[in-house]
Amino acid sequence: MVRLLVLACLIWAGPSLAAPPDGLNATLRGLQDRAAHIASLSCSFTQEKHLAMFAAPVTSTGRFLFARPDKLRWEYFSPARDGFVLDGGSGARWTGESDARQTFSLRDDPAMRLVARQLLAWTTFDLPWLLREYEMKLESRTPTVLSLTPRQSGTAAVLESLIIEFSPESDTVRRLELHEPDGDFTRIIFANTTVNGPVDPALFR
């Protein structure tokens, strides 16, 4: 299974909630407005899994691609190859060096549906969905750093908080941290980000 399923602990939204404080609200609206102009995005990433049982983090590298409205590619290059692509409501995933792929439909695969929804929400900055999912706090304005606490008790049992840092240049996510209640956490650093550059449609098949 794709290692990105660490994000699948984030559950679907509950009822609509009140708007955030004015200062935070202005920041969120600005991020939402700028995200609306992102037609495509490509970047590399380094993922660090910090576990109490290990002295050093477990590190992986990969890349992420997005094209509106709903095309995604998330893949790891090292230490092992795996990943998935999504084009609309269907996609494929793979594990290992072989070219063998397993196709899936979001309609029939709740785990991949959850992962896809999470990635699309952050890439397009779907503010109504995010506000229903999380209580947000503005930690820093330059760069913009948000801390998020899950609103749902089921999510809070496996995810204590999220830290999101945005790039001052593009307002895309530069750092993502997922903190677990037991003290373990995953940090993903995004780099070499290109916004609205050419992306080969074949990469989503």
Give tens-digit pLDDT for 73-99: 999 999 999 999 999 999 999 998 777
How far is residue 30 from each of residues 141, 144, 167, measured CA to CA in Å?
12, 11, 13
Q: Given this model, what pLDDT does residue 171 score?
A: 83
Q: Given this model, what pLDDT does residue 21 score?
A: 55
Average pLDDT over the chain reads 86
Of residues 43 and 153, the one with the higher pLDDT is: 43
Using CA atoms, how far apart are residues 192 and 203, in angstroms rounded to an integer?
18
Using CA atoms, how far apart are residues 106 and 90, in angstroms rounded to an integer?
6
**Domain 21-204 falls in which CATH fold?**
outer membrane lipoprotein receptor (LolB), chain A (2.50.20)
Q: Given this model, what pLDDT does residue 133 score?
A: 85
Q: Which has the closest alpha carbon to 76: 93, 91, 51?
A: 93
Compute the average pLDDT of residues 171-185.
Answer: 93
Confidence class of residue 60 from pLDDT cuts 50, 70 and 90?
A: very high
Using CA atoms, how far apart are residues 73 and 116, in angstroms rounded to an integer?
10
Q: What is the pTM of this model?
A: 0.83
Domain ranges of the chain: 21-204
Confidence class of residue 43 from pLDDT cuts 50, 70 and 90?
A: very high
Q: Given this model, what pLDDT does residue 156 score?
A: 76
Beta bridge partners of 150: 134
Of residues 105 and 171, the one with the higher pLDDT is: 105
Using CA atoms, how far apart are residues 53 and 199, in angstroms rounded to an integer?
40
Residues 6+ apart with CB under 8 A from 22: none
Of residues 14 and 80, the one with the higher pLDDT is: 80
Using CA atoms, how far apart are residues 110 and 116, in angstroms rounded to an integer?
10
